Amino acid sequence: MAPLERALVTSYTPSWKTGQLVLLLDKKIKPRSDVVISHVPYKGPYVISQIISGDPEIGVSYKLVEVETGKTYPYAITSDRLKSYHGDRIDLQNRLPALPQNTVMSQDELSGLDSSDDNDAAIINDAARTDMEPAIKQ
C-alpha cells in the first residue's frame, strides 16, 4: 500500500451533524492591528446549518449560522477549521476538583503545633502574617 493510500485509510474523518454547535478557527488578523498577541483563534459559536458533500475526493464542507446574530457565514467551511463548542460548563465543573475553602486556625490549634517541626513551623509563620489576603475571598 502506498504511503498516500495508507494516510487516507488511517485519517480521521469527523462526524459533524446539522444543528451541532461549533467554533470556527479564524487565524486572520487585520492589517495594522494591535491584537496580535491577544488574538483569539476561534470565533463563534456557530450552528451547522447544512452539510455539503459533492465530489468524494474533495470531501465534506459545512455552512454555518452565527448563534447570536443569525447571520449565515458567507463561505463553506471544511471540517479541519471546526471545533466542538461546549457552552454548558456544568460537566466541566463536575470534573474539576472543588476549590479549597479558606480555613483559619484558632490560637488553640496554633499552640498545639510543634515549632521544631519544619512543616508545623511553616504553618505557624504563615498564620502569624497579617499582610496577606486570602487567595479565595468568600
Q: What end-to-end distance do the CA atoms of the chain give, in Å?
A: 63
Three cell numbers at 114?
Answer: 510543634
Three cell numbers at 137?
Answer: 475571598
Q: What is the CATH number of domain 14-87?
A: 2.30.30
Total number of residues shown for the chain: 138
| Model pLDDT, residue 5 | 63
**What is the spatial order of strands in the sheet that 60-66 belongs to?**
77-78, 60-66, 42-53, 21-25, 82-84
With CA atoms as reference, report the closest residue to 12 among 64, 77, 60: 60
Residue 2 has pLDDT above 80, yes or no: no
Task: Please state, rounded to an integer, the average pLDDT across all residues of the chain.
Answer: 74
pLDDT of 3-62, one tens digit each? 666 555 555 667 889 999 999 998 887 777 776 667 678 888 999 999 998 777 778 899
Domains of the chain, by residue range, sit at 14-87, 103-129
